[in-house]
A and B are shown apart, each in its own frame.
Chain A
Amino acid sequence: MQNLGHVNNNHNDDKVIDACSIFGAMNTLGHRFSGEGVIKAIANMHDRGNGLGGGFAIYGLYPEYTDLYAFHIMYLSQQGKQETEAFLKDNFKIFHQEDVPTRKTIKIINPPLVRRYFVDINMHQPDNALHNDYILDKVMQINTRLCDSFVFSSGKDMAVFKGVGYPEEIAEFFCLEQYKGYIWTSHGRFPTNTQGWWGGAHPFSILDWTVVHNGEISSYGINQRYLEGFGYHCTMQTDTEAIAYAVDLLVRKHKLPVEIMAKVFAPPFWDDIDRMPPKEHELVQALRQVYGSLMLNGPFAVLIAHHGELIGLTDRIRLRPLTIGEKGDMVYLSSEESAIRLVSPELDRAWIPMGGEPVITRLKIGNEQKDGSIKEAIPA
C-alpha cells in the first residue's frame, strides 16, 4: 500500500483530505482551443485527488480523421497487443495507427503501452445506428475476451487520455498541451472503493460518450446487471464505467432526450412526483418504473459529454459539488469556482445549479459540421 500521506504532502503529517475533482470547458461556437487552461484549472484542484488517477476527454481532436472511429487502446502486455491488433485487422479497415505520443516524465512510472487506431467499418449498410452497435460490440469483445487490452475510447474526432498520476502529470505525459478541442473534460481521482489503475482512471467512454465523476455509485451492482442485459460489460472495476454505458443506452439506443436521462439518473422524490401535474406525474412515474435499475444511488457530480453537448449533473440532494461559470461563448463546469476563475477571472455569470437538475450546454446553431441547438443552461 502506498503511503498516501507521503504522496500527498510534504508537511510531515498524515492528513489526507480528498475528493475527486472534475472540470469541463466548452466553446459553444465549436471553436477548438488548447488544453493549457483546462490543465491549469484541474491542477488547481490538485489536493482533491491523491495521484491515483487523472484523465482528459477532448472533442474536435482529430480534424484530419473526422469520419473515422478513433480507438485508443491500452495494452498491459505484448501478447495483448498482438491479439487485439489481429482482431482489429479482422474487423475493421485501419487507415492509420501509431503509439499515442508520450514524453518521459519523472512522475509517471511504468506506464502501459497506449496506441491509437483510426478505423472504419467494413460494412455496406449506411445505417449509422448499426455502425455504432457494431463498434460497441467490438469494444466489449476487446475488453472482455482479449487479453490485457482495454479500450479507453472509441468515438470519432475525440479521445480519452488517462492513467495513474495527478491529472497535470497525465497531461504532461501525453503532451496534451499540444492538442486542441472544443470540449474538454478532466478528472483528478481519489479512488474510494477500488484500486488505482490505468483502466480505472476517468473519463470512462463508449463511442463518443465520456463521463467524469466525483462520488460513488452504491447502485453500481444493480446498474451493472441491468446493463449486462443490453450487451454492456463492465471491466474497468469502477462504478463510473456503468454511467457511461447507461448514457449510451438511454440516449443513443433508446433515443431519450438528455433531460429525461437526467430524470432517470436522479429521479424526483415520490412526494415531489405526487405534486406534479397529471402528465408530468405520469411521465416521471413511468421513468422510475421502467428505468428504476438505472437510478444512480449515492453521491455524485458528473460531467457527461459527447459531440455537441456538455452536461453537468449532481445527485438530487447534491452530496457532491458542481459550479458553473459562463463567459462569452465559453461555459465552464467545475468542482470549485476558483478553478474556473483561474482560467477566466471575469465571468458573465457564476452560479450553482440545484441538485438533480442537469446543466446542458449545446453548440449554437449555425456551426459548421456539428449539429445541435441553442445553448441552454437549465437554471436553478
Chain B
Amino acid sequence: MGIDNKTLIKIDTCGIYYRDLNARLREVMQNGTQKIELTNVCGQRYIGTDLNKKVDIEIHGTPGNDMGAFMNGPKIVVYGNAQDGCGNTMNEGEIVVHGHAGDITGLSARGGKIFIRDDVGYRAGIHMKEYKEKKPTIVIGGTAQDFLGEYMAGGVLVLLGMNLKAGEKHKARFVGTGMHGGVIYIKGEIEDYQLGKEVGIVELDENDLTVLHQLVHEFCAHFGCDADSILNQKFIKLFPRYLRPYGRLYAY
C-alpha cells in the first residue's frame, strides 16, 4: 500500500483522556490519514467511535470498553485483549483482536466483521441484526461463555473452539436464547441443555459451507493458522426455529 509519513499517524496515548483521544482521531481523519498507530492504550473507551472512513487503526495495549462502538468503516487491530462491548452497534468495518474479548462482544452490530483470536465473555453477538446486504459477522477462535447469540436477530456467529482440549466440550449455557434470526456455526459438540429454547441444530448445507469456508480462511489469514485443518472437522449449525417466537404472546 505504501504508507508514507504523511498518512501514518502515531499517537502515544499514555495519560490521554478518552474524549480527547477520540476527538484527536476524528481530527486526523480529516487529513487523508490512512493508518493510525496507538501505543500505550490503557482503558480509553469508545476508540474508533463514529469514524466514517476506511482507515487502519492499530492498537497496542488494552483498549477500554465499547471499542469501535457505532464505527462505520475503519479496521481496528488490537495487539492485546479487548474489554467489554467491543464492536457495540458497529455498522461497517473490521475488528481483529489478537487476544480475548470481554462481555457483549459485537452487541447489536448491524454490519462489519469481528475476529477474536481467543475466548469471548458473556453474551457475544447479543441482538446482532441484519438487513439486506448488511450482515454482521463474529468469528471466535476459542470458546464462549454463556448466552452466546442471545436475542440474535441476524448475522453470522462462528465459534471455532480451537483452544479446547481433545474431548473437552464448550461450556456455554443458554446459547441462542431468544434467537430469532441469523445463524451460529459451532465446531465441536454442544449438548441440548446448553441451548436456548428457540434454537434447533442441523447439519450444514452447501450454502453454509461456502460462508464458513470464506470466514475461516479470513480468520486464519489474520492469525496465521491452517484453515483446512479447521474446516475438516465437524461443525454444527444453530438456527432460530421461530422468526417471531413470541408473536402471539400479546395477540390471542
Least CB distance from B64 to A in Å reads: 6
A337 in contact with B122 (CB, 8 Å):
no
CA distance A380 to B146 in the complex (A): 11
Interchain CB contact under 8 A, B62 and A338:
yes
Q: How far is the CB of A307 from chain B (nearest CB, A)?
A: 31
Asked if B145 is at the interface (CB within 8 A of a chain A CB), the reply is yes
Quick one: which of B139-154 are within 8 Å of A by CB? 145-147
Chain A positions within 8 Å of B119 at CB level: 352
Q: How far is the CB of B127 from chain A (nearest CB, A)?
A: 16
List of B residues within 8 angstroms of A339 by Cβ? 43
Q: Does B130 contact A (CB under 8 A)?
A: no
- Binary contact readout A330-351 vs B (1 if CB under 8 angstroms, 0 otherwise): 0000001111011000000011
Bound complex: CA of A275 vs CA of B45, how far in Å?
A: 41
Q: Which of A58-66, A101-109, A133-141, A315-323 contacts B (4 or more CB under 8 A)?
A: A315-323
Residue A308 CB within 8 A of the other chain: no
Interface size in chain B (residues, C-beta < 8 A)? 28
Q: Does B103 sit within 8 A of A, measured CB to CB?
A: yes
Complex contact B19–A11 (CB within 8 A): yes
Partner of A318, one of B19, B62, B100, B103: B103
Which residues from 167 to 187 on chain B have a C-beta closer than 8 Å to any C-beta of chain A? 171, 173-174
With a cutoff of 8 Å between Cβ atoms, the chain A residues found around residue B80 in the complex are 341
B84 near A355 (CB under 8 angstroms)? no
Q: Which of B36-78 contact A (CB under 8 A)?
A: 41-43, 45, 61-65
Task: Report A-chain residues with C-beta under 8 Å of the C-beta of B103.
Answer: 318, 321
Partner of B102 from A44, A271, A352 at Cβ < 8 Å: A352
A47–B119 CA distance with the chains assembled, in angstroms = 26
A341-B61 CB under 8 A given contacts A11-B19, A352-B100? yes
Question: If the complex has contacts A317-B122, A352-B102, A354-B171, are A338 and B193 also in contact, measured as CB distance less than 8 A?
Answer: no
B137 in the interface, Cβ–Cβ < 8 Å? no
**How many of chain A's residues touch chain B, expressed as a range?**
20 to 34
A192 within 8 A of B: no
Contacts of B41 in A (CB 8 A): 338
CB contacts (< 8 Å) of B63 on chain A: these are 338
Q: How far is the CA of A272 from the CA of B62 in the complex (A)?
A: 35
Contact status B43-A44, CB under 8 Å: yes
Tell yes or no: A9 within 8 A of B by CB.
yes
Complex interface bits, B101-119 against A, C-beta within 8 A gives 1, otherwise 0 = 0110000000000000001
In this complex, which of A9, A337, A351, A380 has the most chain B Cβ atoms within 10 angstroms of its Cβ? A337
Task: Judge whether A296 is part of the interface by a CB distance below 8 angstroms.
Answer: no
Nearest CB of chain B from residue A298's CB, rounded to whole Å: 16
Q: How far is the CA of A339 from the CA of B44 in the complex (A)?
A: 11
Question: Smallest CB–CB gap between A116 and chain B, Å?
Answer: 34
Most buried by B among A45, A271, A336, A350: A336
**Residues A342 and B42 in contact, CB atoms below 8 Å apart:** yes
- A11 partner residues in chain B, CB cutoff 8 A: 19
Residues in A lying within 8 Å of B, measured CB to CB: 9, 11, 44-45, 47, 271-272, 275, 317-318, 321, 323, 336-339, 341-342, 350-352, 354-355, 380
Q: Jot down 23 A-B pairs with beta carbons below 8 A, ordered by A.
A: A44-B43, A45-B43, A47-B45, A272-B173, A317-B147, A317-B174, A318-B122, A321-B83, A323-B102, A336-B65, A336-B83, A336-B84, A337-B83, A338-B41, A339-B43, A341-B62, A341-B80, A352-B100, A352-B102, A352-B121, A352-B145, A354-B146, A380-B145
Q: Which 9 A-B pairs have the closest CB atoms?
A: A338-B43, A338-B62, A318-B122, A338-B42, A341-B62, A352-B121, A44-B43, A337-B62, A342-B42
